[in-house]
Structures are given as C-alpha cells and as structure tokens.
Amino acid sequence: MQYRCVASSPEGLVQQVAVSYLRHGYWFYVTGRIPRGKDPEAVDRKLIAKYDIAVSERERAHRKRRGLANMQYIRYQDWFLLLATEGHHRFKQEERKQICDCRRHPIKFEGYSISYRRGGQTPPGGGQPKWHSCVRIDPATYKQLKEFFLDRACHRSVDNLASDFARVPYARYAPVRRQLLTIVRATNDARARMGFDSLPYTALGLRRRIVKPFAP
C-alpha cells in the first residue's frame, strides 16, 4: 500500500507528528539524517520495509490487541523521524540505545520542541489528568529570539519590529503564542523605558495556519 512520509514543510511535519501521531500513542522515537550522497527515497523504502510500517489501520488495530507496537515514519529533506507505540517490535530491540520517549525528552526539529505532556489541571471529580501534544520553540532558539528582539527594541520603528515578528517562522500553537507574547511584552517594556510607542500584539499574527502535511 502507498505510504506517505515526505513532509511538505517543517510546519507540515510538526503538524502531522503533534496532531496525528503523538495523540495516538506514538511516543517512542529515533531521529536521524540521511548521509549526503544517499538517495532519500531509497532510504524511505528501506526503513518502511524493514520495520513493516506501511500497514492498514485494520492491521494496526490487530497488532495493538496482540500487544505489538505500531510504527510511523516521516521525513523532511534529509532529516527523518521513526516513531513507535508501546508494545513489542524489532525496532525497539535494534535501536534500544537510541530510543527516546517524547513524554520525557522532546523531539527537537528546526527550532521546535515537540512533546507529549500531562495537563496541569485535575479534571472535576478527581479523574486522571489529560495528556496532550505540546509544540513550542525550543529553549535555545527561544533565548536567541528574545535576545534578537531586545537588541532591536529601542533601535527600530514599530513598523520594522512588526515586520520582524511577522517573519518569525514558527507555527502559532498555543505554547508558541505564549512565548511570542512574552517577547513582545519584554520588547514593549524596553521601549516604554525610553518613551517609545509600544508594539501592538496584532503584529504577531497569532492564528495558526493549517497546512497539508505531505508533499504531493
């Protein structure tokens, strides 16, 4: 069966992983890069065949009932990600030293940090807290981004700063929005101390754009 695995963009990969894979239990992962000179599509075919990834939803359900793990594979350019659910699988034997759990160690990709986290609030009645995908700007990239805007805060016009914020490439998931709002507040505090006009929050473009995750 045809198995789509080539992401259309970094945003497409992040969306597919966070919205479709993590929420269905694909928490165990290995990342890698295809060496220069190797055919990426040949590597795709090899990994998909090796780990029997291209199976139907019916087969996935059957494997889950038997206590076996299912897998997904996705690639953007030369970077790829293998994910697995709980259960037995040869992937977990062969890659056991490299496998990470995204509930403890976020997936790092193109300045993003992608994890699966427990919600902070306990549901009414004392039920189990809900878990959810969390997409944010990774700490190192966030620090660089904040320093960039603070350095420019008092040396650029509102229009120029607004243009800079509009070019921040990260999809506006809720944690990303909170991070960007924190940077805007810090930027405006610096401008206020110098008597400059504040940057409006509308400059951030806080609506997340839905993309097609896979290339045609």
List per-residue pLDDT tens for the chain, 216 residues long.
Answer: 589 999 999 999 999 999 999 999 999 999 999 999 999 999 999 999 999 999 999 999 999 999 999 999 999 999 999 999 999 999 999 998 999 999 999 999 999 999 999 876 655 666 677 899 999 999 999 999 999 999 999 999 999 999 999 999 999 999 999 999 999 999 999 999 999 999 999 888 899 999 999 977
The pLDDT, as a whole number, for residue 129 is 74
Question: Which residue in 13, 7, 16, 10 sits closest to 44, CA to CA?
Answer: 7
Same domain, 105 and 32: yes
Q: What is the CA radius of gyration of the chain?
A: 21
Same domain, 128 and 60: yes
> Which residue carries 């401008």 as its tokens?
191
Residue type, 62: H
Quick check: is 3 in a domain?
no
Same domain, 48 and 132: yes
Residue 89: both structure tokens together: 């699988």
Same domain, 119 and 88: yes
Of the candidates 137, 163, 195, which is a domain's last residue?
137
Same domain, 101 and 149: no
The pLDDT, as a whole number, for residue 126 is 61
Same domain, 51 and 18: yes
| Alpha helices, DSSP H, located in 84-173 | 90-94, 139-152, 158-166
Quick check: is 4 in a domain?
no
Quick check: is 74 in a domain?
yes
Of the candidates 88, 116, 137, which is a domain's last residue?
137
Same domain, 93 and 177: no
Quick check: is 23 in a domain?
yes
Same domain, 80 and 175: no
Same domain, 129 and 105: yes
Same domain, 154 and 97: no
- Other C-beta atoms closer than 10 Å to the C-beta of 69 total 21
The pTM score is: 0.91
Residue-range definition of the domain harbouring residue 188:
139-204
Same domain, 32 and 50: yes
Same domain, 80 and 177: no
Quick check: is 146 in a domain?
yes
Residue type, 149: F
Structural domains in the chain (count): 2
Quick check: is 80 in a domain?
yes
Cβ burial of 201 (10 Å; 0-12, 13-18, 19+) is middle
The pLDDT, as a whole number, for residue 119 is 77
Of the candidates 104, 137, 170, which is a domain's last residue?
137
Quick check: is 5 in a domain?
no
Quick check: is 210 in a domain?
no
Question: Which residue in 122, 81, 76 sits closest to 102, CA to CA?
Answer: 81
